[in-house]
Structure 1
Amino acid sequence: MATARHRIVLFDLFGVIARHQRPGALEKMAARCHASPDAFTTAYWTHRPPYDAGLHAASVYWTAVLHALSRPADADTIEELRLTDIDSWSRVDDRMVTYVRNLRDRARVALLSNIPADHADAFLAAQPWLRDLDHVAFSGKIGAAKPGPAAFRHCVIALRAAPADFLFVDDREENVRAAQAVGMNGHLFIGQDDLAGVVDGWLPTDS
């Protein structure tokens, strides 16, 4: 019979363990570029996917954003925007961090996050407990991002498991559906208390 230690709870990062982007951050970066918040937000997200997936370096991403706003892409501006951006995604939910760390006593625990490589390095430096997880997959490091199936398959291979061994937890329905499409179990995160009940019911009782 399968034991709980054969099961893997695979967490999304932002919106689950970490907070979403700091309020006002996009407006702050827009002001630095002398651009309207709407124009900046459009450029910021339009050029984001290849940066998240590790296909573009930070300098390439920010050059594209600035050019889309008809602004010069000088090195100082790019670095200021890059650091402000990293800081805007740096907050964690301490209660969820505690839950995730304690869950390792009962199951294998891993992480799959859409995050650029330089953001990932900063996040690991600030949150060293992540290194204690059974696997950490950052899109900018593995070259694949959710909801693409390659991101989920990376975790299956890295953890030498079957898709059915996973419970994937994300706050975005499209990502949960993508995980289910490759054979994982999925849970749409709405809060820790709801999640705890789902995890308790999914993990088998060791005998």
Structure 2
Amino acid sequence: MSTDHRRIVLFDLFGVIARHQRPGALEKMAARCHTSTEAFTTAYWIHRPPYDAGRQTASAYWTDVLHALSRPADADTVDELRLTDIDSWSRVDDRMVTYVRDLRNRARVALLSNIPADHADVFLTAQPWLHDLDHLAFSGRIGAAKPDPAAFRHCVVALRATPAEFLFVDDREENVRAARAVGMDGHVFRSQDDLGPVIDAWLPTPVERSG
């Protein structure tokens, strides 16, 4: 077990610390494919799970999306879509970033995100503060995506802890239910203002030292 016995707050990334996909991004990629936004969105998400979980390369994913739309999967189109997609998931909530960084004074802080490996590489370069966290679990690197129990168990093993030492914070209820099923506490994120009191109540009260 770890010698650091502080409790662990395990954060989701998108919809909690980072913003959801940039508005208009799917429409932009659909236009590049000369197809409707509805058809593109369906193909984009149906083929996403293996890419998120690291079982498929970016090139293979975009080839599948384009073939589903009956479009040619030439290298230039694939690369343009890949880069547009990465950029569409690049925004963070600066207020939440500050909160998460400050929280490390009171708890261990880790991240569990459904994100393809190539997206993660770019995100890490743009957001170097992530390297200060106690653990980063990106689905495309660990081979498991939420709500798969294996994603949560990876974090338990990596942090040499027990599930009961974790509070998992995610904006999707199905992911929070999955975390609870493996023994973690869980909180469905709605806002930082709602989250703060939950974490304050969950973390043990510091013991004051006598002078």
CA RMSD of aligned residues (A): 0.8
Compute the displacement of 1:125 (Å): 0.5
TM-score w.r.t. the length of structure 1 is 0.98
Unaligned runs of 5+ in 2: none
Name the CA distance, whole Å, in 1 between partners of 2:40 and 2:177: 30
Query: Which residue pairs with 1:86 in the alignment?
Result: 86
Task: Report if aligned partners of 1:5, 1:106 keep a CA contact under 8 Å in 2.
Answer: no
Unaligned runs of 5+ in 1: none
Map of 1:19-168 to 2, 5 A cutoff?
Answer: 19-168=19-168
Compute the displacement of 1:186 (Å): 0.1
Counterpart secondary structure, 1:6: coil
Task: Report if aligned partners of 1:110, 1:136 keep a CA contact under 8 Å in 2.
Answer: yes
Compute the displacement of 1:6 (Å): 1.6
The amino acid across from 2:168 in the alignment is F
Counterpart secondary structure, 1:109: strand
Compute the displacement of 1:5 (Å): 5.3
Name the CA distance, whole Å, in 1 between partners of 2:36 and 2:94: 34
Number of residue pairs aligned between Structure 1 and Structure 2: 204
Percent identical among aligned pairs is 82
Task: Report if aligned partners of 1:53, 1:116 keep a CA contact under 8 Å in 2.
Answer: yes
Answering whether residue 15 of structure 2 is matched by residue 15 of structure 1, we say yes
The amino acid across from 1:22 in the alignment is R
The amino acid across from 2:76 in the alignment is D
